């Protein structure tokens, strides 16, 4: 059995009579387990790694500062876009599009009321992509459900 942590999985020994597993390898640059240590990098590589870590920290701060409702709405719109792209493929990829549409619908059912005006916009987008799915499926001679 193991316990997941941001630093990686740690083996957990539930039986006291068995020796514990060795600790996991130390994290290297950017907290990557088994990755190179900053000390192992050339000055140029170290500067690049530090710049990348600073950029990642900046993105995390932006995410922290952005209301979750905006982030969730953006991700739900991404599901809409996935469905639209799958429907525009030749031939249309109905199973993939349906998965994205169902994920969007299920999520909206749970959180639309907490997304403010974005919830209304996303419900309308969902309705439109569902109608496009049905229309395209009929044009392709597929089932009408």
Domain ranges for the chain: 2-65, 68-139
- Scan for tokens 């993939």, then name that residue: 96
CA distances from 70 to 53, 89, 90 (A): 25, 29, 33
Q: What is the pLDDT of residue 94?
A: 97
Q: What is the pLDDT of residue 11?
A: 72
Q: What is the pLDDT of residue 39?
A: 83
Q: What is the pLDDT of residue 40?
A: 85
This prediction's pTM: 0.66
Give the integer Cα–Cα distance in Å for 131 and 111.
22
Low-confidence ranges of the chain (pLDDT < 70): 1-10, 12-36, 142-145
Q: What is the pLDDT of residue 17?
A: 61
Q: What is the pLDDT of residue 116?
A: 93
């Amino acid at each position: 059995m193991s316990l997941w942590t941001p630093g990686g999985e740690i083996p957990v020994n539930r039986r006291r009579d068995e020796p514990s597993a060795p600790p996991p390898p130390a994290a290297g640059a950017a907290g990557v387990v088994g990755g190179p240590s900053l000390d192992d990098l050339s000055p140029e590589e170290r500067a690049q790694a530090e710049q990348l870590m600073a950029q990642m920290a900046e993105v995390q701060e932006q995410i922290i500062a952005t209301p979750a409702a905006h982030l969730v709405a953006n991700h739900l719109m991404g599901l809409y876009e996935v469905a639209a792209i799958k429907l525009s493929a030749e031939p249309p990829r109905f199973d993939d599009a349906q998965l994205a549409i169902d994920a969007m619908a299920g999520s909206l059912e749970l959180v639309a009321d907490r997304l403010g005006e974005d919830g209304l916009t996303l419900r309308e987008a969902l309705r439109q992509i569902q109608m496009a799915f049905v229309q395209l499926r009929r044009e392709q001679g597929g089932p009408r459900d």
